Amino acid sequence: MPSELPNIVIVHCHDLGQYLHCYGVETVRTPRIDGFAESGVRFAQSFCTAPQCSPSRASLFTGRFPHSNGVMGLTHADFAWDLHENEKHLAQYLKEIGYRTAALGVLHESRSGAARCGFDSHEPNPWASTTTDNAIARIEEFAKDTDTPFFLSIGYLEPHRTPIPTGHDMGFLSEEFGPDATLGIEIPGYLRDTEGTRIELAELQGAVNHADGQFGRILDTIEQKGLESNTLVIFTTDHGVAMPRAKCTLYDPGIEVAFILRLPSRDGWHGGAVHTAMIQNIDVLPSLLDLVGLPTPDNIQGTSFAPLLEGRSYTPREELFAELTYHDYYDPKRCIRTENHKLVVNFTTAPFFMDPSQSWRPRSDTVEPPNNALAYHEHVELYDLREDPWELANLADDPAYADVRTELLKKLYRHMQADSDPILEGAVTSPMHEQTMRYLREA
């Protein structure tokens, strides 16, 4: 008899944000993801905890904020951040109740390897087409034993920036795909409409369209193997797109993420619903524990959205919190977001935004600031999302918003105190700093 526990497949892209047709970007072609949303459940207001790769993924798979789980920066190379020893990954929870577990492609939430995270195996090649080939092989293998459920974490590199031979350091091109302006180019409100911006967005659209096709192959295999009814498929990403003033910032283009799921065998987990309640990626782990009948540990900082899907009592979030500490460099900031307002606090006089283009001469330009090389952080930023959805006009010193500023500052401070955010004690020390000190002491 097939297992009553659902199979779980999470497909997560690098740097996608909500750059999909079904999220309102009319010029990007994502027919397979759009079709998946039409038969599944789409969350219109879905956000991550951090606008960079490792910290956000660590939150997705632990249900805890980066400052709590230990991953306050990138995990690879000398960045060297890692999950605290006692942090528990989603794969570990599922493995303990009998799931077969496998990671395919990007595994960027820990530097300690797949086994530490609870995976039986890991195929590390991150390119979407190769990762999909490996995932299909694993699904075909697991389909031979329907008595035992499985969990697959499928991480695509695309649409992350990659080296391109055009005189610029990094772009969105590949030998497998090129730019796509078939439906035109839509310029988001935080970017200037320049030739460079249009070229980059066309490249991005090509990369997203490629990832869409690979995701479609995963869906086709699940259907062909007769697994669709009892397989929860989730499509998501780590954070916003790698454009200036998006990735590596706490503005909405940096922390908004696609989140779509489908489980045909469970009421409320399919059918084309669109939910507008705000959720965050720390909510995913408790929701999946709820789904498989496991209790949520007390240290989990997310909240299950399973009751929302199933029509049970559910209290929507009134606010959510996000953070950045380290990425390319130390740029500590924290934010609180409500339905109507965003407040950001900055702890250093770094440039106004960290540039995610990874290029010596970025091709895209922002509306605000017009010259990032001459603009630096202010202590407090406050935006009215109803009047200014692109967060271009800082109202922190506007007397008309004084009460909003005070209220949000208090709420953000209480959140940081409750979670013992280490930045409250002063500057956060990086793993590289600690290693360099060891070299000095041991010389």
Domain layout of the chain by residue ranges: 7-310, 319-439
- 336 close to 412: Cβ distance less than 8 angstroms: yes
Backbone phi and psi for residue 337, each to the nearest 5 degrees, phi listed first: -125, 130
Burial class (CB in 10 A: 0-12, 13-18, 19+), 419: middle
Amino acid 360: pLDDT: 85
Q: 17: phi > 0 → left, psi -120 to 50 → alpha, else beta; which?
A: left
Q: What is the pLDDT at residue 2?
A: 58
Asked if 417 and 424 touch (Cβ cutoff 8 Å), the reply is yes
What is the pLDDT at residue 164?
77
pLDDT in tens, the chain (443 residues): 456 899 999 999 999 999 999 999 999 999 999 999 999 999 999 999 999 999 999 999 999 999 999 999 999 999 999 999 999 999 999 999 999 999 999 999 999 999 999 999 999 999 999 999 999 999 999 999 999 999 999 999 999 999 876 666 799 999 999 999 999 999 999 999 999 999 999 999 999 999 999 999 999 999 999 999 999 999 999 999 999 999 999 999 999 999 999 999 999 999 999 999 999 999 999 999 999 999 999 999 999 999 999 999 999 999 999 999 999 999 999 999 999 999 999 999 999 999 999 988 889 999 999 988 899 999 999 999 999 999 999 999 999 999 999 999 999 999 999 999 999 999 999 999 999 999 999 99
Q: How far apart are CA 192 and CA 370, in angstroms?
A: 9
Q: In sequence order, what are the beta bridge partners of 246? A: 248
**According to CATH, what is the number of the domain 319-439?**
3.30.1120.10
d(CA 161, CA 364): 14
Q: Which of the listed CATH numbers 3.40.50.300, 3.90.950.10, 3.40.720.10, 1.10.10.60 matches domain 7-310?
A: 3.40.720.10
pLDDT the model gives residue 167: 65
pTM here?
A: 0.97
Sign of CA dihedral 116, 121, 124, 130: negative
Q: Measured over all CA atoms, what is the biggest interatomic distance in the chain, rounded to whole angstroms?
A: 66
Phi, psi angle pair for 214, to nearest 5°: -70, -40
Buried b (16+ CB within 10 A) or exposed e, 19-50: bbbbbebebbbbebbbebbeebbbbbbbbbbb
